[in-house]
Amino acid sequence: MRPVRTLIVDDSASMRATLKRMLSADPEIEVVGMAPEPFAARDMIKQLNPDVLTLDIEMPGMDGLSFLERIMRLRPMPVVMCSTLTARGAEVTIEALRLGAVDYVTKPSGTPEDIERDAALLCEKVKTAARSVARAGPSRLPQQPSVAGGGLGKLIAIGSSTGGVEALFSLLPALPADCPPVLIVQHMPASFTRSFAQRLDAECSVRVVEATENAQVQPGTVYIAPGGETHMELSGGVAGRIKLRSGDLVTGHRPSVDVLFRSVAPLGASAVGAILTGMGQDGAEGLLAMRRAGARTLSQSRDTCVVWGMPRAAVELGAVEKEVGLSAMPEAILKACREKVGSV
């Protein structure tokens, strides 16, 4: 199998050298070029035809977001953004993911151990991006009709990872303002989730918030699990409260989709679970627990996933009642909320 041909775009010569050293250490990756700014990158993309682009956000002449938007409109390809963990970095990275970037990495810094960890993560994400399906940002899905009845006494739990930001920017704006409460774990750093919730809130009829400890879940509200430090659980049923608890990584993540889904499983037929695009297998075991308890369970279809990892693991485990394309997911979720156990 030939190595992943990668083009690095960054205005810092030292950062280009660092990224090249990190990527070139992996025999499955070949750095085919480095560009100091988008206009040079445009010509190198045409000449070199890389498999993956790593793209800086702040650059002279044309910023990374503007360049990304042009790429995804004219020549969609897998892009991994190089970001910072600042508030500004979070906002811009979220917008990049909404526009169609596959994933992001934080710029390497810190101790040698930190940089070694960053290098391993960078290589993993570049290789995953090469296997992903490039898309030109989220499509606007039609608004779903009101569910009526104060949320129908149901609760929706959703898990997502790589590609999930783009998927959620498509799915959530299609939900009506009176939909059942929605709890979401999207794998994301702690500094990103508040900006993510605020950005979604501006796009949606439903209210979107970053979840807080002991918040009572309400119809018409989407709760995004805070990134990095805690797991999010539901306590006390459909009208229960959110619990944020510290703990070890579960299935390699904190917050973990598995933890959320297991906490929702006791609701049985009063719950609907959906697992969206993502790398790995987080959420498969939890979704199986939900299905065994009588909940309706859905997964995003392979052909509409950026990365068919988490949904695939759930399907292979027997946790999924039905696979659904992203464009049909809002309708399928609400239909499952309206119905008793049976066919979706």
What are the residue numbers of the active site?
Answer: 161, 187, 282
* Residue 200 to residue 269: CA distance in whole angstroms: 28
Structure tokens at 41: 């990158």
Structure tokens at 342: 């049976």
**CB proximity list for 265: less than 8 A, separation 6 or greater:** 271, 286, 289, 290, 292, 293, 295
* Residue 328 to residue 240: CA distance in whole angstroms: 29
Determine what percent of the chain falls in helix, strand and coil, rounding each to the nearest 5: 40, 20, 40
Among candidate residues 131, 249, 242, the one with its CA nearest the CA of residue 187 = 249
Report which DSSP code applies to 135. Answer: -
| Helices vs strands, H then E, count in the chain | 11, 14
Beta-bridge partners for 244:
232
Amino acid present at 214: N
Kindly write down the DSSP assignment for every residue of 186-228, as one continuous string. E---TTTHHHHHHHHHTT-SSEEEE--TTPBP-TTEEEEPPSS
Helix/strand/coil for 157: strand
DSSP E strands in the chain: the ranges are 4-9, 29-35, 52-56, 79-83, 103-106, 155-160, 182-186, 207-210, 221-224, 231-235, 241-245, 271-275, 296-300, 322-324
* Residue 171 to residue 223: CA distance in whole angstroms: 14
Q: Is 311 exposed, middle or buried (0-12, 13-18, 19+ CB in 10 A)?
A: buried
